Amino acid sequence: MAKRRLVLTFPPEVVERPVVATLVKEFDVLTNILRAQVHEGEIGRMLVELEAEPENIKAAIRYLQEIRVVVEDAIKDIELNEESCIDCGACTAVCVPRALNISPPEWKLELNKERCILCGFCVDACPLRIISVRF
Amino acid sequence: MVKTVEEINERIKKGEAVVLTAEEMTHLVREVGAAEASRKVDVVTTGTFGPMCSSGVFMNLGHSEPPMKMHRVWLNDVPVCADLAAVDIYIGATAVSDSEGMNYGGGHLIEDLLRGKWLKLRANAIPTDCYPRREIQTYINLASVNQAFLFNPRNAYQNYACATNGSDRTLYTYMGVLMPNFGNVTYSSAGELSPLLNDPYYRTIGVGTRIFLGGAQGYVAWQGTQHRPSVERTSRGIPVGPGGTLALIGDLKKMSPEFIKAARFHRYGVSLYVGVGIPVPVLDEEMALCTGVGNDEIYTYIYDYSEASRSRKPIRKVSYAELQSGKVEIMGKKAISAPVSSIRMARRIASVLKDWIKRGDFLLSEPVEALPQEGTLNTLDIREREDK
């Protein structure tokens, strides 16, 4: 089994279709919705984690692209300006999935993009405003 | 073994002084005991790098032609304090921009000055015979002005309270973002590295003590505002929660933007991260014991910040060892605990100060006057009329 974390952008005409159900039923892909913003008649965005055999994930992505869903890797969507970071750790207070972590002995802020669910809470929590999240 | 500051300075000048950071001293005292450590070590360096809201810069702008007695002054649209003679101003770190609100403020002005940026100066005045000018608009930077010195009324808090949130909505505070239902706990102290926790009764730190401030040499000017030595203390004299504070002074023109950083706390406002480091002379066994303090011996209380009152009831007592583990037990569950002040930078400051002393570039100074060892705080009461 393989896992992939993707940001899906739905054009308005696809928003109303049962896309996630299709991924599960037709492609045998476990689809975990981590975050979603979907409004009828507008563009929708969804952060999903797909878990399946690698070939099934590939087929599922092909299907999504065929119905004009934009598929992007999620890890590109959080950016931390490490050069400006003072390692205060204030952002870790709001990071429930522990993508942002600070701990002894180094006390250096670590960002594990694989764990990020792009909730964006850290953007407001950072006193230096050096984290950006695109979702 | 008993030493004097003078003797230690002689050793520093000869390049013979033994200097440890507060973390290194804690290890040594635990290994060999305070008596042995006092024989081995001359100076312990401390450090802290946290948001210190009660900070600011006094500055003399120089006189315009014709001259002007400035009454209202803005820098980059941030109101600064005037009404100090004609062209003296004070930039308060927490002032916010008239046009950009909380996104830009006094802290940013101070950092921008250190980065060599030009600031737009706007001022108006009531003309007088000797100061006829009514308005001015121009640009200044750190090189163009006369004196510019950081004068921070309250820095280097000796311990601080921890924040949590028992309500069902997110709170935005100077202690960071507090998640609902006790979702997290935030703390703001460098713990065993923090200056006043290494000299709990202010034996060696007092008025006139030479310090590291913002990357340059500065001084303790006075007791800080809200200096409150008469608080609950542990058996080793460490305040449990906020205790003493320091007013600090230093030449902004010699400081570095690495150690002075603007901060914006979302929906709270602007503040300033200030880097402070204070050397503690190990005069005797007692000072070795004091500087040997560890995070498992420093405690504070956690308060529910959703109770918007000056007399909140503490939820529980907690050690810095537990806080720094990243998880704290609160109301029967484990919550995230996160720092607001940078321990990595606190450590860096202690180590820079250590290097200065070892190189002989920084000599210790004895306090000109001691800080008060007793005292509590008054409250601001709402009175209908003057009290008799």
Domain hosting residue A112, numbered range: 78-133
| Whether A43 and A68 share a structural domain | yes
In degrees, to the nearest 5, what angle opens at C-alpha B279 toward C-alphas B351 and B43? 85
| Whether A83 and A58 share a structural domain | no
Q: Do B186 and B175 contact (CB within 8 A), yes or no?
A: yes
Q: Do B302 and B163 contact (CB within 8 A), yes or no?
A: yes
| Token pair 């802020």: residue | A109
| Whether A49 and A21 share a structural domain | yes
- Whole-number pLDDT of residue A77: 82
In degrees, to the nearest 5, what angle opens at C-alpha B100 toward C-alphas B250 and B82? 45
Cis upstream peptide for A11 (omega within 30°): no
3-state secondary structure of B3: coil
Q: Is the ipTM of this complex over 0.90?
A: yes
Query: Among residues B329, B347, B349, which one has the least CA distance to residue B337?
Result: B329
Q: Which residues pair with A71 in a beta bridge?
A: A8
pLDDT tens over chain B, length 388 residues:
799 999 999 999 999 999 999 999 999 999 999 999 999 999 999 999 999 999 999 999 999 999 999 999 999 999 999 999 999 999 999 999 999 999 999 999 999 999 999 999 999 999 999 999 999 999 999 999 999 999 999 999 999 999 999 999 999 999 999 999 999 999 999 999 999 999 999 999 999 999 999 999 999 999 999 999 999 999 999 999 999 999 999 999 999 999 999 999 999 999 999 999 999 999 999 999 999 999 999 999 999 999 988 889 999 999 999 999 999 999 999 999 999 999 999 999 999 999 999 999 999 999 999 999 999 999 999 999 998 7
| Whether A47 and A18 share a structural domain | yes
In our burial notation (b when 16+ CB lie closer than 10 A, e otherwise), range B273-308 reads bbbbbbbbbbbebebbbbbbbbbebbbbbbbbbbee
- Whole-number pLDDT of residue A114: 86
| Whether A90 and A34 share a structural domain | no
Q: Active-site residue B53, yes or no?
A: no
Q: Which residues pair with B302 in a beta bridge?
A: B162, B316
| Whether A90 and A127 share a structural domain | yes
Q: How far apart are CA B224 and CA B76, in angstroms?
A: 29
- Whole-number pLDDT of residue A71: 93
| Whether A86 and A124 share a structural domain | yes
Which CATH number covers residue A120?
Answer: 3.30.70.20
Listing from the earlier edge strand, what are the strands of the sheet with B19-21?
A: B19-21, B43-45, B279-281
Stretch A77-93: mean pLDDT, rounded? 96
DSSP 8-state secondary structure symbol assigned to residue B200: T
DSSP 8-state secondary structure symbol assigned to residue B116: T
Stretch A67-83: mean pLDDT, rounded? 89
Q: Is B194 exposed, middle or buried (0-12, 13-18, 19+ CB in 10 A)?
A: buried
Q: What is the pTM of this model?
A: 0.92
- Helix segments in chain B, DSSP class H: 5-13, 22-32, 34-40, 106-114, 285-291, 320-323, 343-359
Helix (H), strand (E) at residue A60: helix A54-66
- Domain range list for chain B: 5-52+151-359, 62-145
| Pick from A86, A101, A125: CB nearest B176 | A125
Tally the domains of chain A: 2
Which CATH number covers residue A71?
Answer: 3.30.70.260
Residues near B337 by Cβ (< 8 Å), separated by ≥ 6?
Answer: B162, B184, B185, B186, B187, B322, B323, B324, B325, B326, B327, B328
Q: Report how far apart, in Å, the C-alpha atoms of B330 and of each of A121, B174, B334 are.
A: 22, 21, 6
- Whole-number pLDDT of residue B153: 98
| Whether A30 and A49 share a structural domain | yes
- Phi-psi group of B185: left, alpha or beta (phi > 0 → left; psi -120 to 50 → alpha; rest → beta): beta
User: Tokens for B344?
Assistant: 């990595």
| Whether A6 and A65 share a structural domain | yes
Contact B339 A102 (CB under 8 A): yes
Query: Among residues A96, A67, A78, which one has the least CA distance to residue A5?
Result: A78
| Whether A63 and A40 share a structural domain | yes
Residues near B129 by Cβ (< 8 Å), separated by ≥ 6?
Answer: none
Q: What residue type is assigned to position A73 of the chain? A: D
Contact B342 A92 (CB under 8 A): no
DSSP string of B225-255, one letter each residue = TT----S-B-TT--BSSS---EEEEEEGGG-
User: Tokens for B325?
Assistant: 């583990």
Contact A93 B261 (CB under 8 A): no
| Whether A11 and A70 share a structural domain | yes
| Pick from A86, A89, A129: CB nearest B264 | A129
Chain B interface, mutation test: which of A81, A82, A84, A86, most B Cβ atoms within 10 Å? Answer: A86
In degrees, to the nearest 5, what angle opens at C-alpha B23 toward C-alphas B28 and B288? 50
Chain B interface, mutation test: which of A88, A103, A128, most B Cβ atoms within 10 Å? Answer: A88
In B, which residues are within 8 Å of A88 by CB distance? 49-50, 273, 339-342, 345
Helix (H), strand (E) at residue B162: strand B162-164
Contact B344 A108 (CB under 8 A): yes
What's the CA dihedral at B228, B233, B238, B242 to 10 degrees? -40
- Whole-number pLDDT of residue A14: 84
User: Residue A75 pLDDT more than 90?
Assistant: no
**Mean pLDDT over the full length of chain A:** 91
Q: Which of B53, B130, B162, B290 is catalytic?
A: B130
Q: How far is A88 from chain B (nearest CA, A)?
A: 4
User: Residue A135 pLDDT more than 90?
Assistant: no
Query: Among residues B111, B120, B64, B53, which one has the least CA distance to residue B87?
Result: B64
Contact A127 B344 (CB under 8 A): no
Q: Tell me the backbone φ, ψ of residue B124, rounded to 5 degrees.
A: -135, 165
In B, which residues are within 8 Å of A93 by CB distance? 176-179, 184, 186, 336, 338
Contact B336 A96 (CB under 8 A): yes
| Whether A9 and A70 share a structural domain | yes
- Whole-number pLDDT of residue A16: 79
- Whole-number pLDDT of residue B102: 96
